[in-house]
Chains A and B, each alone.
Chain A
Amino acid sequence: MKSILLTSLPKYDLSAPPAALGVLQGIAKSNGWQTKIFDFNLFLHKNLTDEEWQAIDNWSMFIINDIDDGLKKKIINLWDLSIKTEMLENTEYLLISVFSYWSLYIARLIISNEGKKIKPYKLIVGGNGVVSKFPDSKEYFEHWNNKNKFIEHLIIGEGENPLVKILSKGRIKYDDKNIDSYPFPSYSGFDFNEYFEKKVYITGSRGCVRKCTFCDIANIWPKFRFRSAESIIEEIKKHFYEHGITRFDFTDSLINGSVSNFYKFNCLLAEEKQKNADLKDIIYLGQAICRPKNQMLEKHYEAMYYAGCKQLTIGIESFSFKIREHMKKRFSDKDIEYHLEQCAIWNIPNIFLMICGYPTETIEDHNKNLQDLKKYQLFAKMGVIEMIRWGTTMHLIPDTPVTSQKSIQELGLVSRDSTPIFFSPSSSYDWISKINPELTIKERIRRRIELHEATTRLGYLQPRVKEDLNTLLSLAKSVKINN
């Protein structure tokens, strides 16, 4: 039987098996292929020191432009050794998932190394990262590969149809308009004990119904498509009965993109749990958008409770309506209050994702953030705001609405040394806006620290904040050096 080795590159969280590998393994298995799974992100984390892992973090996020040659050699050696160990004899393909934009530098290192080998297998590479350009060379991944010809099959965009075309030699095709037509993911071959949580990622939809200015999701999925509620529930039951999984984390940009389908999903799942006591412990978590009362009715929150919704991650981004308006978030302060009240009524915890230092953020907007941290403190105490994540400071990503030519001109975005944005990788952090010149990188760091202190003092939970602070420290040092 022909076989394929599927692996994924850092850097992403280690809490569960990577969804991409589950999805792609599902396709391979449903087409009769023998599969072997290897999570290189997990493997590397286990074989590097904390300092080395932090260095990779800084490198992946373009805080530093390079890592030292010794660490690169170590990564390559670990890769070569593990690929040799993991590969089955009859492996025809090595599939590498480049999870995101943050995986670009490490992908280039690994794939260049693969390109130098004489090997019996062919490379298939795909993932969200391969649609991006390298911040240092400004070269798109695809162009870089066309030049070097390292990868036999580079999959740009969604992987299902290109992969099944390769594996079935063109005989099978799915309907991309109907994502119910894709095979269910498979998580066989993963040791769930290796991960922090026993859970799997599940996808209910692709794309988004918003076009937030800082986000690049529309580049990957220009249209919002969603699965039927029935199909999602069948997949949940599959993973429960095959692996005993009771926790499902949605990968969707938002689980309430179609409010009616989301309500149907919750009602059906609640009914299934009532009918079948086996399923009573099933819970789910996911990202959502804050919607007004006339869109997410009170009964929707009730349905979420009975279905087992245990956490929503909401991109609030700023407590200043003016900032959210510029970001195209489309919800008011009243909508946030309504959402929190309903989540309190039904004990649905939230993670609030926030951005400090958006290009138009004034000191008044920043003070509004500080003010509303106090306003919502009770929700934090009672676990309704289970945690809050401020990240580092506003990071400009290429090919997003806020970094379009029009926006760069309107906002007067330049690097600190007045070169154009993205002329150097550091400009993604170290930028200024000519229409808001007070918001220098130092001022953004200062505000971020002020938010950190207020958030901590008010008793909000901020997991992994030390990582953020260490990144801020690297930023602050690099700003000082460049001064």
Chain B
Amino acid sequence: MIINEFKIELIYNTIFDVECHIDNVLFSKSKNKSQHLFKIKKNNIKVEFFINPQKIKPLIRINGFLVNYGLAKIMPWDHKIEMFLDQFFYENYSKNIIESKKKYLGISDECSSDFDNFVGYNSYHFDIVNIIKKEIQ
């Protein structure tokens, strides 16, 4: 799933200002709101949101999805929020979900029964499926 446009919302429970920089160049400013929206039709970019007042960690939605900072590889600094956005954002987010489940569950082997029981990604089980297909032929 390839993305060509990013709609990024920053939301907080108090009013704040945001300056959006793309690859170190000012892209857009948004002031005096609790909810800011930026539409970016670029790819493979570094995006920095400079926030005032500082030390705010707003909710971030990307294309309608409230994202987890860690899974989206968003770096929160005191004065800015930094992220890299590319066309494979959804794929990478999905991969990070799997990795984080593995870490949380203490599973390192994707061939293990624990991975199958508790994560269940890519669980084709061709061996069992092929036998079932033969049985019902």
Contact = CB atoms under 8 A, between A and B. Distances in A.
A binds B: yes
B66 A345 contact: yes
Interface in B35-83: 61, 64-68, 71
A464 B117 contact: yes
A338 interface: no
Given A341-B64, A463-B120, A469-B128, A446 B136 contact: yes
B61 A345 contact: yes
B35 to A, nearest CB: 12
A418 interface: no
A166 interface: no
B132 A449 contact: yes
B93 interface: yes
Nearest to A347: B66
A347 B65 contact: yes
Contact of B129 (A346, A382, A469, A479): A469
Contacts of A407: none
A470 B127 CA distance: 11
Contact of B135 (A378, A382, A467, A480): A480
A466 B135 contact: no
Contacts of B128: 466, 469-470, 473
Interface of A is mostly: helix
Contact of A456 (B90, B93, B124): B124
How big is the A interface, by class? 35 or more
8 contacts: A344-B65, A381-B1, A383-B97, A446-B136, A461-B98, A461-B119, A464-B116, A469-B132
A171 to B, nearest CB: 47
A473 B116 CA distance: 17
The 9 closest A-B pairs by CB, nearest first: A463-B120, A476-B135, A347-B66, A381-B94, A462-B120, A469-B128, A442-B136, A344-B65, A461-B120
A452 interface: yes
B129 A452 contact: yes
Nearest to B123: A465
B94 A459 contact: yes
Contacts of B116: 463-466
B132 A472 contact: yes
B132 A381 contact: no
B103 interface: no
Interface of B: 1, 61, 64-68, 71, 90-91, 93-94, 97-98, 113, 116-125, 128-129, 131-133, 135-136
A445 B132 CA distance: 8
A341 B123 CA distance: 27
A384 interface: yes
Contact of B1 (A378, A456, A477): A378
Given A305-B66, A467-B117, 17 more contacts: A341-B64, A345-B64, A347-B65, A381-B93, A383-B94, A383-B97, A384-B65, A445-B136, A449-B132, A456-B124, A459-B94, A461-B121, A463-B120, A465-B120, A466-B125, A479-B135, A480-B135
A473 B123 contact: no
A344 B120 contact: no
Contacts, number: 93
A452 B126 CA distance: 11
A342 to B, nearest CB: 10
A381 B128 CA distance: 26
B18 to A, nearest CB: 19
Contacts of A333: none
Contact of A463 (B65, B90, B93, B118): B118
Contacts of A472: 132
A473 B1 contact: no
A301 to B, nearest CB: 10
A347 B125 contact: no
A453 interface: yes
A382 B94 contact: yes
Contacts of B121: 459, 461
Interface in A329-378: 341, 344-347, 377-378
Q: Which of the listed residues B71, B116, B119, B135 has the most CB atoms from chain A within 10 Å of its own CB?
A: B135
Given A449-B129, A466-B128, A344 B64 contact: yes
A215 interface: no
Contacts of A382: 65, 67, 90, 93-94
Contacts of B123: 456, 462, 465-466
A387 interface: yes
Contact of B133 (A380, A449, A462, A464): A449
B66 A344 contact: yes
Q: Which of the listed residues B67, B122, B132 has the most CB atoms from chain A within 10 Å of its own CB?
A: B132
A479 B136 contact: yes
Contacts of B113: 466
Q: Which of the listed residues A387, A445, A453, A463 has the most CB atoms from chain B within 10 Å of its own CB?
A: A463
A387 B121 CA distance: 9
A186 to B, nearest CB: 29
Q: Which of the listed residues B98, B131, B133, B136 has the most CB atoms from chain A within 10 Å of its own CB?
A: B136
A377 B121 CA distance: 14
A463 B135 contact: no
A469 B65 contact: no
B118 to A, nearest CB: 6
Contacts of A377: 1
